[in-house]
Chain A
Amino acid sequence: MSHGHAEVITTHEVHHDEHGAHHHHQSFITKYVFSQDHKIIAKQFLITGMIWAIIGGLMSVLFRLQLGYPDQTFPWLEDILGNWAKGGKITPENYYALVTMHGTILVFFVLTGGLSGTFANFLIPLQCGARDMASPMMNMLSYWFFFGGSIVMLSSLFIQTGPFSGGWTAYPPLSALGDASPGSKTGMDLWITAMAMFVVSSLLGGLNYVSTVLNLRTKGMSMTRLPLTIWALFFTAVLGILSFPVLLSGFILLLFDRHGGTSFYLSDIYIAATNQALPNEGGSAILFQHLFWFLGHPEVYIILLPAMGMASEILSVNSRKPIFGYMAMVGSLFAITILAFLVWAHHMFVTGLNPFLGSVFVLLTLLIAVPSAIKVFNWLTTIWKANIKFTPGMLFALGFVSLFISGGLTGIFLGNSTLDIHLHDTYFVIAHFHIVMGVSAFFGMFAGIYHWFPKMYGRYMNNTLAYIHFWVTLIGAYLIFWPMHYEGLAGMPRRYLDYSNWSSFNMFGDLNKFISTVAMIVFAIQLLFVFNFFYSIWKGRKVTTLNPWGATTLEWTTPIHPGHGNWEGEIPEVHRWAYDYSKDGRDFIPQTEPIGPNESKH
């Protein structure tokens, strides 16, 4: 162990010469565009993610317009969308394109790339006490692959046959056969290409995060002294490294089926549109679902764990209390990581899966509720007898806990195969995953942005706008998604653009209007947040103290505007865990302070 530390110190000193006290001059291109500074890369991920979030969110506004008002036409839609909305009505093809792109963009490009890309990059070196990532070059490539994937994905919106429109899960045969759906033509090739680049980006980033956490911690920073953010981001990276390659392999087989004449997923298919029986025999369409969900389920935790980590940290800082049950929190993160790999088939209870196999997945799926419950009760105990400061970050962290509870509990319905028969692919599912991994992960992300904005830009975001943003978004999120559970209990299927011809589902017309209206208001409020973000970068109130929140962690020991290399001079040494708040009558004790002779033990 001591040998390891010695090595770490040498690296630091090498870096010190380069990046420490005297900055070397950089051009705009190397400093802001092809930057190898983890802080700049984090901001690149964040801003790209925000642009994606606006695009993806706007798509949801457009298809909510169709869902809320299926019988009306909006001529102005044709003005902005052209052929997508001929006569002011979104065509089915483009409705499905919007839904598919909304899912793909939000799940991968915003809540994976934008969320862990931002905060793993920003926080891992700063909170571990490292000058930069283990490989800054790979880190830069990670962003540029992400950017490249983004461009390819975006370009698919502008081609003749339209973007991929078979749902973000891209199940074959629909995704394999251009004759079955126009979106499965060139749009799908671009989709696969973009996703492949995204996977590369995610792997380059993930390997970097893991090696940095394991090897570049500063002196004294043992694993058990790491803040929970780092633990969460570490497990996130492990999940990504182990599951994204499986997704990629699934995509490659799909590509072979599409263009190579193979039959991995295809069998016994007759296409009525061309009056043709396809040559493929012996493939299994279900194989793709196994490969997809082997990533797809861990993906949920790739999205959720960083939010959990940040919420834990922010709750503790603003409660002025240590996080309750630190080791249990780490343990439950670990348990979630392991279980995440063992539950994928709960997405496939009604595919004809062997019922016995299904029962094993029921057991493993519901097991996840145990570590989740531990986390919730620990968060509740953290704010018990606290002294809470409602900073914007804290508000969003509290909102995260509320949403995580609400969405997590409905997971107990869907993870139970008996109930899943009825609820599968209904609006109950939409409500469940939007609350638990959509909105709650966004809340974690917002919490992180508000909390670390002062460290990112040396300025504060506007508080009043932040409060409006929080309350409207929290109330709006519940108004949108809570009633959807009832639509699900009526068996209302997802991915329909018009329910008026169904006597079983047409009684929710007014509700759909209501949901659409709220969704538009919530979207508008997010624009307010975006405005607040960019305005505050240049015009926000300046940060004047090193440690505005009174936090114990290392990032607040850096200068207000840290250069590349983060600390001027030596990297501080760590002497204690990250959660000594309100201990021995002191408000907080930074991690860098040596343990005093009379200090009480915990």
Chain B
Amino acid sequence: MTTTGLFLLAILALGFLITFQIAKASEYVSVLKGEKKSFEQNNKINGFLMVVFLVLGLIGVWYCNKALYPKTLMPHPSASDHGENIDTMLKITLLITGIVFLLTQILLFWFAYKYQYSEKRRAFYYPHNNKLEVLWTTVPAITLCLLVGFGLYYWFKITGEAPSNAMQVEITGRQFGWIYRYPGKDNTFGKKYFRMIDEAEGNLLGMLWKDSTMDTPNGVQSLKADATGYDDIIQTTAMYLVVDKPVKLIINSRDVIHDVGLPHFRMKMDAVPGTPTTMWFTPKYTTKKMKEITGNPNFEYEIACDQMCGNGHYSMKGLIKVVDEQEYKFWLASQKPAYTPAVTAAPAPAAQPAHADTTAKDHAGAIVPKGVLAAKR
């Protein structure tokens, strides 16, 4: 251990020792002074500290808000329509809980101070009062109904069906990055099957690009190639969305549970292997506009994985570019479909943010999944 470490430990131990000696001495003093007197003194000190804590605490709450509020997402408008509803709900809840918080904490510490022990006073024998108890059952119940009402109104709005003009983008999580898929010119996603995933051949999602027959635990399966998938655009750099146009995300996972977290849009949905989920929203500001709004020239809409997914969880970042219609068309035109007839010749888009070494193993040759072998037995 380094000398600074030892030094710090020594200081800590010394601090402990001194505190302990003072504590022990104070016990002797209290014995000398008489238990009653020392109790009264201690009680006064603690009673006083109660009100000090209350005052300093309230100042602290105010100061903390002043220092940290600008760093949250709240000073700027939400970047999606749903997010606006969520922000309104947040304000309603904050107002109601804020009042209750102030009221109860002030009463608690004020009572503790005010009704501290005094020899002259006797506590008031007050075992119950039905009226009061009914009062503080019904008032919270009514208030909560209000919160539930608002909450569910927004909840159903947010989780309801996406508008029919919504564009569709598929996003698939994997350890530790995101894969985006656009349906291409035919506006239809091609079929896929997870056993067809072959990173070496650039088939990141297991698209049914060719006919194949395979042994699965459910028997031999013949899979027909799906031509609607030939024009699908699959890439890993960024998801492009059009401002003011609703988008419906179809969310998948290739391995473990991930979560598409979009803090600026206030949206979030898990990516669950085997169970596709969806969410929709309408982006309100382009990335460029958001740079102005936030005053941050480097602003980007980041996709944060919000569900523990393994050791690279903290680095599982995705990117959303919100652009206007014109730019989107330009970008789309520059994208090539992932399918090329001679897929073997295509370079694998090796875009793995963390642990890039995993792709190295992909060239080990024809790997037969263990499970398929097991099923043959």
| A residues in contact (CB < 8 Å) with B | 75-76, 79-80, 92-93, 96, 165-167, 171-174, 177, 180-182, 261, 266-286, 319-328, 350-352, 355, 358-359, 362-363, 366-367, 369-370, 373-374, 376-378, 380-381, 383-390, 395, 398, 401-402, 405-406, 409-410, 412-413, 416-419, 421-422, 424-426, 462-465, 467-468, 471, 474-475, 478-479, 482-483, 486, 489-491, 493, 495-499, 501-505, 507-508, 511, 524, 527-528, 531-532, 535, 541, 579, 581-585, 602
In the complex, the answer to whether A269 meets B274 with C-beta atoms within 8 Å is: yes
CA distance A499 to B371 in the complex (A): 38
**Which residues on B are within 8 Å of A, measured CB to CB?**
1-2, 5, 12, 16, 19-20, 22-24, 26-27, 30-31, 39, 42-43, 45-47, 49-50, 53, 57, 60-61, 64, 68-69, 71-74, 82-83, 85-86, 89-90, 93, 96-97, 100-101, 104-105, 107-109, 111-112, 115-118, 121-129, 132-133, 136-137, 140-141, 144, 147-148, 150-152, 154-156, 158-160, 174-175, 194-195, 197, 199-200, 206, 216-218, 251, 254-257, 259, 261, 263-264, 266-270, 272-275, 277-278, 296, 298-300, 302, 304-315, 317, 352, 358-359, 361-362, 364, 367, 369-372, 374-375
Known interface pairs A275-B364, A279-B216, A359-B155; A511-B108 also in contact (CB < 8 Å): no
Contact B310 A174 (CB under 8 A): yes
User: Given A93-B311, A272-B174, A602-B128, is A285 in contact with B257 using a C-beta cutoff of 8 Å?
Assistant: yes
Partner of A387, one of B46, B123, B272: B123
Residue of B73, B129, B311, B312 touching A491 (CB-CB under 8 A): B73
Do B302 and A504 touch across chains, with their CB atoms under 8 A apart? Answer: yes
Q: List 16 contacting pairs A-B, 8 Å CB cutoff, sorted by A.
A: A76-B1, A180-B175, A276-B367, A279-B369, A319-B123, A320-B123, A323-B127, A358-B155, A374-B140, A377-B104, A418-B155, A463-B30, A465-B20, A482-B60, A490-B72, A531-B16
Please determine whether A583 and B125 come into contact, CB atoms closer than 8 angstroms.
yes
Report the separation of the CA atoms of residues A284 and B212 in the bound assembly, to the nearest whole angstrom: 27
The distance from the CB of A91 to the nearest CB of chain B, in whole angstroms, is 8
Instruction: Report whether B273 and A503 are in contact in the complex, using a CB–CB cutoff of 8 Å.
Output: no
Cβ–Cβ contact B27 & A277, under 8 A: no
- Cβ contacts under 8 Å, A366 to chain B: 144, 147-148
Name the A residues within 8 Å of B268 (CB-CB).
Answer: 350, 421-422, 424-425
Shortest Cβ distance from residue B239 to the other chain A in the assembled complex, whole angstroms: 15
Closest CB-CB distance, A591 to chain B, in whole Å?
15
Q: What residue in chain B is nearest A354 (Cβ atoms)?
A: B159
Is A277 touching B194 in the complex (CB atoms < 8 A)? yes
Provide the bound-state CA to CA distance between A80 and B1, in Å. 8
Whole-angstrom distance between the alpha carbons of A281 and B371 in the complex?
Answer: 11
* Inter-chain contacts of B314 with A (CB < 8 A): 92, 495-499
What are the residues of chain B within 8 A of A267 when measuring CB–CB? 273-275
Nearest chain A CB to B305 CB, angstrom units: 7
Residues of A contacting B148 with CB < 8 Å?
362-363, 366, 416
Considering the chains assembled together, what is the distance between the CA atoms of A226 and B136 in angstroms? 24
Sorted nearest first, the 3 A-B pairs with minimum C-beta distance are A279-B371, A491-B263, A267-B274
In the complex formed, the residue of B with least CB distance to A535 is: B20
**Which residues of B sit under 8 angstroms from A511, Cβ to Cβ?**
68
How many angstroms from the CA of A275 to the CA of B372 in the assembled complex?
Answer: 13
A269 touches B254 (CB 8 A): yes
Shortest beta-carbon distance from B272 to chain A in Å? 5
Cross-chain contact of B255 among A173, A284, A323, A579 (Cβ < 8 A): A173
Q: Flag if A422 contacts B86 (CB, 8 Å).
A: yes
Residues of A close to B101: CB separation below 8 A: 405-406, 409
Evaluate contact between B112 and A285: CB separation under 8 angstroms. no
Which of A75, A171, A508 counts the most chain B CB atoms within 10 A?
Answer: A171
* A182-B311, A352-B277, A358-B159 known, 13 other contacts, Cβ within 8 Å: A165-B311, A166-B310, A275-B362, A280-B371, A319-B115, A362-B151, A383-B112, A405-B104, A416-B147, A464-B23, A475-B53, A482-B60, A490-B73
Q: A174-B310, A387-B122 are in contact. Are A324 and B127 (CB under 8 A)?
A: yes
B68 touches A261 (CB 8 A): no
Complex Cα distance A531/B174, Å? 48
Chain A residue numbers with a CB within 8 Å of B152 are 359, 362-363, 417-418
Report B2 CB to chain A, min CB distance, Å: 5
Q: Given A279-B370, A493-B305, A501-B317 in contact, is the A284-B275 Cβ separation under 8 Å?
A: yes
Contacts of B274 in A (CB 8 A): 266-269, 281-285
Residues on A with C-beta less than 8 A from B257 are: 171, 173-174, 285
A270 touching B272 in the complex, CB below 8 Å, given contacts A76-B5, A320-B123, A582-B123: no
**Contact call B261/A491, Cβ cutoff below 8 A:** yes
A286 touches B275 (CB 8 A): yes
Q: In the complex, what's the smallest C-beta–C-beta distance from B197 to chain A, in angstroms?
A: 5
Q: If the complex has contacts A171-B308, A355-B159, are A405 and B105 also in contact, measured as CB distance less than 8 A?
A: yes
A478–B150 Cα distance when bound, in Å, is 30
- A419 near B151: Cβ-Cβ < 8 Å: yes
A272, A410, A482, A532 pick with most chain B CB within 10 angstroms: A272
Asked whether B313 lies within 8 Å of A496 as measured between CB atoms, the reply is yes
Contacts of A482 in B (CB 8 A): 60-61, 64
Enumerate chain B residues within 8 angstroms of A358, measured Cβ to Cβ. Answer: 155, 159
Residues of B within 8 A of A541 (CB): 27, 31
List residues of chain A with CB within 8 A of the CB of B27: 462-464, 541
Known contacts A92-B312, A390-B42: A359-B369 contact under CB 8 Å: no
> How far does the Cβ of A476 sit from chain B's closest Cβ, in whole Å?
12
From A279, A280, A362, A528, B372 is in contact (CB under 8 Å) with A279
> Out of A261, A384, A499, which one reaches B115, CB within 8 Å?
A384
Give chain A nearest CB distance to B130 CB in angstroms. 9
Given contacts A279-B374, A366-B144, contact A166 B308 (CB under 8 A): yes
A residues less than 8 Å from B312 (CB atoms): 92
Set of chain A residues within 8 Å of B197, measured between Cβ atoms: 270, 277
Q: Which residue of A lies closest to B85 (CB)?
A: A418
Q: How far is the CA of A463 from the CA of B43 in the complex (A)?
A: 11
Q: Report the nearest B residue to A490, measured CB to CB.
A: B72
* Inter-chain contact B42/A467, CB cutoff 8 Å: yes
Residues of B within 8 A of A377 (CB): 104, 132, 136
- Knowing A268-B194, A285-B272, A286-B272, say if A322 contacts B375 (CB, 8 Å): no
Q: CA A377 – CA B298 in complex, angstroms? A: 49
Q: Within the assembled complex, what's the spacing in Å between the Cα atoms of A421 and B124?
A: 47
A402 and B115: CB pair below 8 A? Answer: no
Q: Are the CB atoms of A326 and B127 closer together than 8 Å?
A: yes
For A179, give the chain B residue with the smallest CB separation. B255
Beta-carbon nearest neighbor of B5 in chain A: A76
Please judge, given known A-B contacts A370-B144, A463-B27, whether A419 and B127 are in contact too, CB under 8 Å: no
Q: Are A383 and B111 in contact (CB under 8 A)?
A: yes
Q: A352 CB to closest chain B CB, in angstroms? A: 4
Answer whether A582 and B125 are a contact pair too, CB < 8 Å, given A398-B108, A496-B313: yes
In Å, the complex CA distance between A96 and B188 comes to: 40
B123 and A321: CB pair below 8 A?
Answer: yes
CB A353 to nearest CB in B, in angstroms, measures: 9
**With a CB–CB cut-off of 8 A, which chain A residues contact B24?**
462
Q: CB-CB < 8 A to B159: which residues of A?
A: 355, 358
A380 with B23, Cβ < 8 A, contacts A173-B273, A490-B71, A507-B71 known:
no
Name the contact of A490 in the complex, choosing from B86, B125, B263 (C-beta under 8 A). B263
CA distance A285 to B251 in the complex (A): 15
Complex CA distance for A501 and B22, rounded to whole angstroms: 47
- Cα A488 to Cα B197 in complex, Å, equals 36
Closest residue to B252 on the A side, CB-wise?
A: A268
CB-CB under 8 A for A383 and B144, given A273-B361, A276-B367, A390-B46 = no
Choose from A181, A387, A395, A527 the contact partner of B16 (Cβ within 8 Å).
A527
CB contact between B299 and one of A412, A479, A503 (< 8 Å): that residue: A503
